[in-house]
């Protein structure tokens, strides 16, 4: 089919807000580079916004061969209509084979609108991406049937093949400041007068909690916490470490924590520098959302809990003794200063390494 033969290039939409790129775009550039190389095609970054040329430059350091930059005032703040129109125009002009977008609120909104206009297939919320090189097909895998199955979805006839991908599924690649690439500036065919939705005022979110996908340190609690009031001890530990609190589905289903705090297959996928699993058994659906964390610390009174199989540091003991003891020890070591992940690992080694597993609680 002509549509398939004509289409070339793997595109990554680089989400940005107010000139600040979202790291999921760079995660997608990392995986996108591997897939583009396998398909022997160009990796193209798409940057839409106003005064965002620096992001186009940055995209090259993250692996783009080419960047399409649409820098226009009408794109200054995200609105579905101008962003969807600008991206659709680019796609219609250049015919990419594959378009990847982060599965953020913005990305989900944009991708659905663009795919509908282009009448092409979109696989939303993927957790695995691959390609079938001989057929030039994107293999987009995502949980289906409420997480009971993993489905690999193909878009065989229409182009581009589109997918949104969860943040933190892929590793953040190392930028190479010496990389060379081309930036091609394009202009939208429309102006502000054609856009129906107007931005009246921008009110930034006031929530103090760090979003799970942005956190370097996550302290998650499960059914072992025993009740919502006990999450206070996790909040205290997270506060000392400059982290945030997550939860297993059991804790969320019990109404102890809000749904947006759930880690796992049907919750958020996280990849923090340090993940504390407290009173969490380590069910496969929980592991699916956190096992690529750099360092995993498990606290559980059952020495046979499956979580210990993926943990770098295991503390067998009663969480109601272990957690306050760790908080106290870290507070003594770091005071009011938030430790780096490396410092924290060093302190953990000192806390757990010199003793038998489980004995840390006594300190």
Ligand X SMILES: Cc1cc2nc3c(=O)[nH]c(=O)nc-3n(C[C@H](O)[C@H](O)[C@H](O)COP(=O)(O)OP(=O)(O)OC[C@H]3O[C@@H](n4cnc5c(N)ncnc54)[C@H](O)[C@@H]3O)c2cc1C
By CB under 6 A, name the binding residues for ligand X: 146-148, 222-224, 248-251, 262, 264-267, 279-281, 283, 285-286, 289, 300-302, 305, 318-320
Cβ 256 to ligand X, closest distance in Å? 10
3-class secondary-structure state, position 16: strand
| Choice between 20 and 309, CB closer to ligand X | 309
| Contacting residues for 108 by C-beta, under 8 A, at least 6 apart | 124, 125, 164
| The token pair that represents 182 in the structure block | 């081309």
* Contact status, residue 4 vs residue 136, Cβ threshold 8 Å: yes
Cβ 23 to ligand X, closest distance in Å? 22
| Choice between 146 and 208, CB closer to ligand X | 146
Cβ 238 to ligand X, closest distance in Å? 17
| Choice between 50 and 301, CB closer to ligand X | 301
Cβ 168 to ligand X, closest distance in Å? 14
Cβ 114 to ligand X, closest distance in Å? 28
| Choice between 138 and 305, CB closer to ligand X | 305
Tell me which residue of 338, 301, 284, 142 sits closest to 225, measured CA to CA.
Answer: 301
Cβ atoms within 10 Å of 117's Cβ, excluding its own: 14
| The token pair that represents 363 in the structure block | 């300190």
Number of residues in the chain? 363
In eight-state DSSP terms, residue 177 is T
Q: What strands, in cross-sheet order, belong to the sheet with 313-316?
A: 244-247, 217-221, 274-278, 295-300, 313-316
Phi, psi dihedrals of residue 242, rounded to the nearest 5°: 75, 30
In this structure, the strands spanning 274-278 and 244-247 are unpaired
Cβ 267 to ligand X, closest distance in Å? 4
* Contact status, residue 41 vs residue 9, Cβ threshold 8 Å: yes
| Choice between 100 and 234, CB closer to ligand X | 234
| Choice between 123 and 262, CB closer to ligand X | 262
| The token pair that represents 4 in the structure block | 């398939």
Cβ 223 to ligand X, closest distance in Å? 3
Cβ 151 to ligand X, closest distance in Å? 13
**Helical residues (DSSP H) of 206-290, grouped into ranges:** 231-241, 249-253, 284-287
Burial degree of 299 (CB within 10 A; 0-12, 13-18, 19+): buried
| The token pair that represents 155 in the structure block | 């878009």
| Choice between 254 and 329, CB closer to ligand X | 254
| Choice between 244 and 248, CB closer to ligand X | 248
**Helical residues (DSSP H) of 18-104, grouped into ranges:** 23-39, 53-61, 80-94
Cβ 279 to ligand X, closest distance in Å? 4
| Choice between 39 and 251, CB closer to ligand X | 251
């Amino acid at each position: 089919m002509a549509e398939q033969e004509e289409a070339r290039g793997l595109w990554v939409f680089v989400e940005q807000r107010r000139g600040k790129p979202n790291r999921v775009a760079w995660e997608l550039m990392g995986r996108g580079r591997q897939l583009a190389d396998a398909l022997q095609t160009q990796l193209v970054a798409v940057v839409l916004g106003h005064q965002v040329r620096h992001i186009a430059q940055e995209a090259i350091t993250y692996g783009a061969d080419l960047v399409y930059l649409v820098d226009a005032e009408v794109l200054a703040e995200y609105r579905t209509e101008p962003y969807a129109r600008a991206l659709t125009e680019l796609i219609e002009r250049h015919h990419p084979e594959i378009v990847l977008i982060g599965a953020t609120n913005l990305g989900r909104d944009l991708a659905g609108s663009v795919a509908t206009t282009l009448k092409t297939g979109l696989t939303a919320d993927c957790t695995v991406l691959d390609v079938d090189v001989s057929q030039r097909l994107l293999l987009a895998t995502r949980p289906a049937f409420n997480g009971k199955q993993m489905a690999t979805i193909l878009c065989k006839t229409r182009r581009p093949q589109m997918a949104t991908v969860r943040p933190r599924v892929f590793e953040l690649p190392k930028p190479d400041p010496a990389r060379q690439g081309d930036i091609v500036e394009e202009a939208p065919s429309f102006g502000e007068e054609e856009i129906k939705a107007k931005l009246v005022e921008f009110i930034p979110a006031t929530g103090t909690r760090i979003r799970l996908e942005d956190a370097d340190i996550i302290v998650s609690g499960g059914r072992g916490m025993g009740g919502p009031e006990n999450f206070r001890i996790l909040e205290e530990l997270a506060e000392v470490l400059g982290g945030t609190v997550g939860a297993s589905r059991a804790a969320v289903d019990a109404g102890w924590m809000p749904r947006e705090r759930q880690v796992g297959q049907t919750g958020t996928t996280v990849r923090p520098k340090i993940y504390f699993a407290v009173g969490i058994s380590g069910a496969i659906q929980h592991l699916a959302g956190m096992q690529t964390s750099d360092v995993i610390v498990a606290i559980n009174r059952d020495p046979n809990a499956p979580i210990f199989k993926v943990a770098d540091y295991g503390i067998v003991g009663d969480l109601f003794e272990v957690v306050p003891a760790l908080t106290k020890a870290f507070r003594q070591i770091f005071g009011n200063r938030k430790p780096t992940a490396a410092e924290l690992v060093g302190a953990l080694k000192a806390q757990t390494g010199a003793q038998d597993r489980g004995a840390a609680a006594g300190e």
